[in-house]
Amino acid sequence: MTPKTCSYGCVYCQVGRTIKKSIKRETFSQPEVIFEKVEEHLKRLDKENYPDYLTFVSNGEPTLDINLGKSIMLLKQFGLPVAVITNASLLFNESVREDLFQADWVSLKMDAGDNDTWQEVNRPVHGLDFEKLTESKNLFASEFKGILCTETMLVDGVNDFSDNFINVAQQVKNLNPVKAYLSIPTRPPAGFSVKAPDPEKLNQAWQIFSNMN
Ligand code: SF4
């Protein structure tokens, strides 16, 4: 397996520390190999265990794989919807948006409502810009025809304050997703000490998101 490659180094990342921080798309996989492996696996499954979705969750950020669009198209031959969970940082790149348009379900990461909080929680690679990120998410959401969701990871003492809840909820609202998930770190990430916000903060976040959307 290639070392974890991502445009972010999130404090809660369960894949571990980012070995290679990058926004350069590269060949990380061969679509035909992914197709064959999935085909072999699906053949072994009985009806009860057959998946609802085929989901891309890579060792880092899946949109860094230059072959993502081709892989999605191949997997769609199985007749199952294809999902991609992305940190959304490469959406400024038209080829990334085009690849994701092939998917049936896309989840965008939405942890921070301002640049300082973004730097703290997602620790982006140098060169990314928060305003551009927000604009490109809006652009993608306005053009994507599939099911759009967002996911917001809440971390104690990092992004669990009311201004951030309000700012993120507003930005999520602008995207008009089918669902906006709030999540908390449950498994210990490698190398960092993070924990979930206390129940009062979680309740506050839920109230703000519910009232905004
Ligand atoms: S974007 Fe995902 S893979 Fe990358 S550091 Fe954050 S949690 Fe880990």
Give strand pairing partners of 109: 151
Examine the pLDDT at 188 and tell me if it is beyond 90: no
As a whole-number percent, the residues of the chain with pLDDT over 90 amount to 86
3-state class (DSSP) for residue 94: helix
Contact 148 CB / ligand 1 (< 6 Å): no
Burial of 89 (0-12, 13-18, 19+ CB in 10 A): buried
| Most ligand 1 atoms within 8 A of CB, residue of 7, 12, 15 to mutate | 15
pLDDT score at 3:
78
Q: What is the mean pLDDT of the chain?
A: 94
Examine the pLDDT at 78 and tell me if it is beyond 90: yes
Q: Domain count for the chain, please give it.
A: 1
Examine the pLDDT at 1 and tell me if it is beyond 90: no
Residue 189 maps to which CATH number? Answer: 3.20.20.70
Contact 9 CB / ligand 1 (< 6 Å): yes
- C-alpha to C-alpha distance for 96 and 77, rounded to whole angstroms: 21
For residue 155, what are the domain limits?
5-212
DSSP 126-188: TT--HHHHHHHHHHHHHH--SEEEEEEE--TTTT-SHHHHHHHHHHHHHH--SEEEEE---SP
What distance in angstroms lies between residue 6's CA and the mean position of ligand 1's atoms?
A: 6
pLDDT score at 18:
80
